[in-house]
Structure 1
Amino acid sequence: MRKLIAALLIVAATAFAAPLAHAVQPDEVMADPAKEARARELSRELRCMVCQNQSIDDSDATLAKDLRLLVRERIAAGDSNRQVIDYLVERYGEFVLLKPRFELHTLLLWLVPPLVLVGGGLGLWLHIRRRGRDTARVGEAPKPLSADEQARLDKLLTEGADRT
């Protein structure tokens, strides 16, 4: 029983620790710690084209490794962070960025979530306001029937009583 519990704890610890581990291999690490820090920072901003919503820093895919090496090559060649990002966007498109740039062609992407949030809040506010008005009407006394309505009601009631 103790062995089973120990095995389950090891499996659970591995499952929780696995997402925290980075995919960068020791042979990829640059000798200069400052350049390596830049490479890691850039790798966290770039999307793995295979894994979609995972950065190349976290991905074990072969393409992610190639991109990590390409980032390190560009940094070693003396490129700035902006130049490295621009090079990768030119080569692979905007999709390579986990957080797209705020430009005219990405305006819809950036503006739709806040507009949906504001629209939803406005809709909820209107619904609550309308519901409050309807609730206020429930407490009011009904209007009395007009003479014509009362006569028609009496006629319907007498006809219904005659049928039974």
Structure 2
Amino acid sequence: MLKSITVTLLLGFMSWASPLVQAGVGSYEFAEPEMAQRFVDLTTVLRCPKCQNQSLADSDSIIAKDLRGQLQMLIKTGQTDRQITDFMVQRYGEFILYDPPFNKGTLVLWLAPFGMVLLGLWALWFFGRKTSGQGAMLTPKEQQQIEQLLADNQAQHRDLKND
């Protein structure tokens, strides 16, 4: 019963949200379907400069709307995807790309995950290794000596208490 209600609510939400997603792209008109597809592709690989965690397609910020309009104009003027992304990088920096290129400026960004994995493996090795338990084991003779010392100590304590 609960599962069917959850599925119904999920389907209802998806049917409600779908026109909203399509409205963002549909409001930009192109002469050819290929141009519209290029627009969709570019707006999903370019990051909103204001929102930072959303693509141009997902963001409702004013700058994202302006950039979508500018993308439409650049596509209509016949610029290639490479020319458009180069223009955006020149204007906003490599931050605007969700998949930045591997170069000196992004070296830390690309190598940091590998460094973190290596650091985690080292920590597992360092803290996970076991110390030898042989040093803590007592021989039967040593155990007998300790028991004798404890017995002597208890006897002295009783003698002091009785005095």
Superposed pair shares fold, TM > 0.5: yes
Residues 109, 155 of structure 1: CA spacing in aligned structure 2 closer, same or farther, 3 A cutoff? same
Distance 1:16 1:119 in 2: 46
Closer/same/farther in 2, CA of residues 50 and 163 from structure 1, 3 Å limit: farther
CA distance in 2, matches of 1:51, 1:30: 26
Say which SS state the counterpart of residue 116 (structure 1) adopts. Answer: helix
Q: 3-state SS of the aligned residue for 1:53?
A: coil
Instruction: List gaps (5 residues or longer) in structure 2.
Output: none
1:51, distance to aligned residue in structure 2 (A): 2.1
Kept in 2: contact 1:46–1:97 (CA 8 A) = yes
C-alpha separation in 1, matches of 2:82 and 2:26: 25
Aligned twin of 1:85: 85
Alignment-derived partner of residue 142 in structure 2: 145
Unaligned runs of 5+ in 1: 1-5
> What is the RMSD computed on CA atoms of the aligned residues?
3.4
Deviations along 1:75-134, one digit per CA (max 9) or x if unpaired, are 22222211111100111122212222211011011111221122112311333332xx45
Aligned CA distance change for structure 1 residues 160 and 86 (closer, same or farther; 3 Å):
farther
Q: Using a 3 Å threshold, how does the CA distance of structure 1 residues 102 and 145 change in structure 2: closer, same or farther? A: same
Gap change, CA 1:116 and 1:22, over 3 Å in 2:
farther
Q: Which residue of 2 aligns with 1:18?
A: 17
* Structure 1 partner of 2:157: 160
- TM-score normalised by length of structure 1: 0.71
| SS of match in other structure, 1:65 | helix
Distance 1:87 1:23, change over 3 A: farther
Q: Which runs of 4+ in 1 moved over 6 A?
A: 9-12, 148-152
* 1:3-62, Cα deviation, whole Å (9 max, x unpaired): xxx9xx669833796388256243313221112111211111111123221100112222
- Give the secondary-structure state (helix, strand or coil) at the position aligned to 2:68: helix
C-alpha displacement of 1:149: 7.4
